[in-house]
Structure formats: C-alpha cells, structure tokens
C-alpha cells in the first residue's frame, strides 16, 4: 500500500487500475478495505484510489479531539493535489458521504461525478447528537468491543454472512478509540448539506440498501430529489451495500461514470 505525507500526517491508500481517478471514501469506524470488492470490479475502467482517512486504518492515528468532516475533505483535496490529479469521480459511504459532501461544497470543480452511498445530506437530530455523546463516553470508558457488537447488528442486513460480520468487527476493533471518539464529535457537528448538494451541476447517483436502518431510503430519496439524481435501491442489503451486494454497487457506479466526462 502506498504511503504519503499530506497536511503533516502519513496517509495510506489502496490503488488499483489506471486512467481517470475514482476516489472511494470509507464509512465509520471502518477503513479502505471495505472497498476491496469495488476496486476489483472497477479497476478496468478507473484508477481506483481508496485512502484510509486520518485516524483510521493504516493512516496515522489522529491527535485531534474532533475529526471534522471538513478537515477530512481537505485531506482528500491535498491527497489528489499531491498525486497530481485534477478531477475525480468521488464515492462516499455514510461518514464517507458526509466527507464527500463537504468536499463537493468547497471544491465542486474537482469532481467529475459524485456517488452518495448509504448516507445522508441532513444534519443529526437532537436525539442522534445525544446518541453520539453517549457512544463517545462509552468507547472512552469501555473500549471498542461493545460498539463493534452494537454496530455490526445494524450495519448489515440479517442475511449477512458471519464472514462479513467478522470482517467488520476487525475493522472496528482496529480503529483507535481516540479516532472513534473524534469522528463521533465531528459527525455530530456537521451541518445540513442538502443545499450544497442541490447546487451541484455534475452527475450524481444515490445508492442505498433496501434494509438500511442507519441511512434509510427516505434519506436517500431526499438527496436524490435535491440533486436530481438517479436513486438505486439495492434489494435485501443493509447499510454496507458495497460489501453486501458488490455487483449492484459496481453496476450503479459504471452507469454514473458513463454520464461523466472522462479525462
């Protein structure tokens, strides 16, 4: 895995394929390995790059108490600057979608297309914010194992294999507790970005698992209407559509990319 220094920290990223760049942004509290199936499926048409965000995966642990979506987005801009890439097809799942929307708000000119997967453009409700605080306190006091158990129960549909669940547990339990707490605080303070989404002029796709309880179909529909985007509902999948039904997600991305202007 290549490693480079951006904005003063070491970032690792996975890379597969050649040509125009597609940048894949992982969810919380996961890492770039959640995109492995997409890299395999799409490297014939794109140079697929999947970074570990600051504080996650193999990238350097973060010393910041709050990991904001905006800072993560600026890290991605710095990453493509260092790689000498002008425009990307950006794909974000859940927290990765919040980061992708922060990126799109600041630098729409760097995007060819945007795919929002199992995510939301709305801000957290009052209850969701309180839930972030409770989760952060619990992880700080007890560590990651309880969070992993709770999250796996809602990340995937009931039909998901024990192998998939074990893979998610490894990702969650490998994430430093400080990063989990920092990202919970960062997600809590993100604003509603529906207006920013609706002002984009590039092709946008919204993809959601039929049984996603974390970012339900109503949220996906809200984004699709705001962006004038195609909405793909993946039958039987939960929140982790790229892992639960890789072919459906790869197919939706290929359709989206056929609308964008390739370099």
Residues near ligand MLT, by CB under 6 A:
27-28, 94-95, 187, 214, 239
Query: CA-CA distance, 56 to 183, in Å (whole number)?
Result: 10
- Measured from the CB atom, the residue of 95 and 204 that comes closer to ligand MLT is 95
Burial grade of 77 (CB within 10 A; 0-12, 13-18, 19 or more): middle
Nearest approach, Cβ of residue 28 and ligand MLT (Å): 3
Strand ranges for the chain from DSSP E: 3-6, 9-16, 21-25, 47-51, 88-93, 111-117, 204-209, 230-234
Nearest approach, Cβ of residue 223 and ligand MLT (Å): 14
- Measured from the CB atom, the residue of 24 and 28 that comes closer to ligand MLT is 28
From 63, 52, 39, 50, select the one nearest 11 (Cα to Cα). 52
- Measured from the CB atom, the residue of 45 and 76 that comes closer to ligand MLT is 76
- Measured from the CB atom, the residue of 20 and 121 that comes closer to ligand MLT is 121
Residues in contact with 67: Cβ distance below 8 Å, sequence separation at least 6, in sequence order? 53, 54, 55, 179, 182, 183, 185, 186
Nearest approach, Cβ of residue 69 and ligand MLT (Å): 10
- Measured from the CB atom, the residue of 167 and 239 that comes closer to ligand MLT is 239
Task: Tell me if 73 sits within 8 A of 191, measured CB to CB.
Answer: no
Nearest approach, Cβ of residue 119 and ligand MLT (Å): 7
Nearest approach, Cβ of residue 114 and ligand MLT (Å): 17
Query: CA-CA distance, 233 to 76, in Å (whole number)?
Result: 28
């Amino acid at each position: 895995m290549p490693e480079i220094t951006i904005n003063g920290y070491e970032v690792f990223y996975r890379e597969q394929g050649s040509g125009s760049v597609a940048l894949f942004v992982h969810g919380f509290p996961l890492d770039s390995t959640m995109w492995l199936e997409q890299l395999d499926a799409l490297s014939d048409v794109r140079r697929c790059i999947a970074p570990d965000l600051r504080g996650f995966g193999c990238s350097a642990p973060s010393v910041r108490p709050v990991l904001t979506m905006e800072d993560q987005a600026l890290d991605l801009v710095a990453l493509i600057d260092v790689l000498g890439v002008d425009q990307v097809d950006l794909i974000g799942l859940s927290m990765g979608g919040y980061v992708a929307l922060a990126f799109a708000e600041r630098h729409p000119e760097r995007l060819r297309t945007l795919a929002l997967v199992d995510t939301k453009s709305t801000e957290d409700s009052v209850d969701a914010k309180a839930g972030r605080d409770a989760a952060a306190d619990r992880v700080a006091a007890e560590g990651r194992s309880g969070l992993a158990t709770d999250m796996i129960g809602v990340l995937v549909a009931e039909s998901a294999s024990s192998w998939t669940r074990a893979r998610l547990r490894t990702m969650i339990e490998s994430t430093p507790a400080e990063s989990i707490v920092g990202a919970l605080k960062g997600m809590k303070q993100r604003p509603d970005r529906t207006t920013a989404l609706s002002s984009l002029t590039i092709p946008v796709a919204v993809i959601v698992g039929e049984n996603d309880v974390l970012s339900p179909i109503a949220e996906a529909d809200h984004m699709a209407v705001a962006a004038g985007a195609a909405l793909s509902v993946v039958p039987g999948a939960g929140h982790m559509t790229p892992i639960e039904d890789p072919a459906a997600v790869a197919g939706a991305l290929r359709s989206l990319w056929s609308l964008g202007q390739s370099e």
